[in-house]
Structure 1
Amino acid sequence: MDMEEYAKRSIVEKKPKTETIEKLSDIILYYKDIGNEKARLLAKAVIEEVETTLEIDNDLTDYYKTNIHMGEFGVGSRGKGDFYVHSKIAEIIRNTDCQSLVNPTAQDDGGVVKVDDTYYITTAIDGIHSRLSDYPFLAGFHTARATLRDVCVMGANPVAIISDIHLADDGDISKLLDFTAGICAVSELTGVPLVAGSTLRIGGDMVLGSRLVGGVGAVGSSKNIPQARSNAKAGDVILMTEGCGGGTITTTAIYNNYPEVIDKTLNVQFIKASQLLNDYERIENIHAMTDITNGGLIGDCNEINKTTGLGIHLNYDKIKNLIDPSVLEMLDTLDIDALGVSIDSLMIIVDGQAKDEILELLTKNNIKCDVIGQITNTSKTIIEYEDKCEELTPKFREAAYTPIKKVVDNLYDENYDENIKIIDKATLSAINKKNKVVKHIKERKL
């Protein structure tokens, strides 16, 4: 519970201060056993701080208000709203005078810079799955695995892991330890060390509760040009490895009571497959790799279409056969579209002449893999079923995989076209602020 936000809303809405103090004191006592007097002192201090901040009138402390909320626009839900906001973040980066080989403008899995004409350095970061806060070991495991995966698919070998953990004021310290142990389990299984990190409280003293958030990052290096999605070519063959799921499938299993599926997600097969391919002698025949995570195949194919201008033709039966049977059974039983959730498979886009050799390499190492389609020049993703073909387009959100997501799917009215105009203005405002501050600091010559 965000005390600062509660106090700010109450003040803006001109609620009586005595009423705000009483209600905030009750909320504090719900979380903390500190007695009425101390709760009231804390409530008063929160209100005093917030009142002070509301008196500040400064461009640096203000920002353009869209009045469009994260959940309302589907940010973080791996649908078209989320993809659009990420494109706006990329726009700010594109309007920054600082260069890299691959950055978020490519909507790729990781970013890449070149160092002294010899090495390519790849970085990636992934956030904790929001519904794994009460399952810190699983949160750490899957976040670490995800960030290593993002480095691997760019053609780099991961060399280090970093961690950033934020735990709310009433969170049990053991969550920090279990989260770290989850990261270190992946570290030990892959031989990539956890080398640095940060540990903080969410909102300092202002946020009550036990919510755990944060992220895990990874750094990798290679001597090869990164395998960005933009390298895909018409006529390329698309391979996919077996998917057992990660954080999303674990969350689905927990909140729908399929505990037996959780164990299926605990593996590092994806990373081993990526490392095998990164060491492949004719790596130039592997044009691109990506993990099937952001909104499932629907999301990833859409990003490839936008980045390359090319199309994709997929075979549904081949895809279905590469999803772990227990995972697929759970998704089918719960009526969750397997194409719209993260199944953590590896998608490999290769020169057609190399596909048999690559399939043999993976099979020999006990990694299940098959051809699921090809790259076309249609600029669309088409999926082929036994009796029909359909265009695969991103929905507003990824497939709803928990009971609350099924409700949220129908909670908001979609004003997508109007909202993007407002978000465009907010993006321009942020770029202008950045330019103004940079100019001001340069002119000071400090």
Structure 2
Amino acid sequence: MKLFFPLFLSFFLSLSFSRVLSQSTFEQQVKEYENVDLNQKVKLFFEFNEGFTIEDEDSVLYYINDLINEGLKADNENAIAMSNFGLSKYLLNQSLFDEASSKLDRAIKHYSKVRNDTMLSVCNNSYGNINLLQGLFGKAEFYYKKSNDFANKANNKEFEMLSNFNMCRIYLNRKEYEKAEQNLEEYISFLMKKGDMRKLAAAYGLNGQIYLDQQKLDLAIHNFTLSMESGLSAGNMNAVANGYTNIAIADYYLGEYDRSEQYFKLALAYRKKDGKKFYIAEGYYNLGDFYSGISKFDSSAVYYKKSIAIAEESNNLQGKLDGLIQLSNIYETLEEKDNQIETLKEMIETHKVIAKEQSYNEINALKRSFVQSEKEAIRTGGIREDQLFGKVEKYQSIFNSWMWLVLACILAFGVFVIVFRIKKRKHS
């Protein structure tokens, strides 16, 4: 069962960092984007950007490129800053932490100049996420608190609450459960007043994790149930599936294996209903873990194989590799050496493909980052060249004015000398 917890934690990471929109609102805003002016595009991109998943990279890059190109054309620094903010998330998904930070720095520089406290809160929250994903909890805490300060300045309760929610993760890591519970209680109260069921699903889920970490299993199950119900109310099938998965994990620790099995199967059913193959593969994988945990190795192998097949079908190579690793362990336990050898061979090949693809993705992401930086540098260089040319013209104009003044003075002096000499001759 050791692999339950990474899956469990990934659920909270994926939900809590985003400002989640309903699917209908998301689709409406994406459609609206094509028919509005640049300033409105910036606002819409900020709203719907978080609705994209890792699978939607091409779509994300389309909007980022549109913002940078239109922003450079119109000399709109707000659009350029927003494109940097969007690109930082894309780079973060590629685990390019330094590049992601660099893009955030560019965005923060602009938002500091125009004193946009709301976007400074958002950017610092993203900085907190970057550090949290690297396990740098002290730095993450620093940026979450900074985000909170800017949210207070902007009088933006939503972002203030978001940074508080993310701080709960820090407190959980330090086992400061009381602080985490206090923050979550305030956050849940805020979301209930707003009626934001999607975010409530994540909040109750994290609360359940806090209780699970303390072995308060009944309270954990209660919060996971609330998480599932909130997801159901919001029509978010993936949140419902996550809720059932977490209840299944808690029941497993209670020794309620029959009930745990049913919840894992319910979670899989909702993942199928949602239709996203990445999560369907995860659902089969969880069942493989469950049956392995109760020593039903034949059943475990069946579910791992299904997970591997769906992961391969959807080009989820990491999911495929994870399944192969577990399947290899099952064959070792069952002493099926031939099957284990074949599985190990496939693991090696899959790992090679992952390494190759990861290198390609990283190079591609770095290339995109460089191209955007180059465009900005050319723009900045162009502005400086224009400014320099303007200064030259200004100085040339001043020089010309002085030159005419000097000539006028010389001419006047010449006239004065001539007049003076004429008068002198007359007197002689």
State the TM-score, normalizing by the size of structure 2.
0.27
More strand per residue: 1 or 2?
A: 1
State the TM-score, normalizing by the size of structure 1.
0.26
Which protein shows a greater Rg?
Answer: 2
More helix per residue: 1 or 2?
A: 2
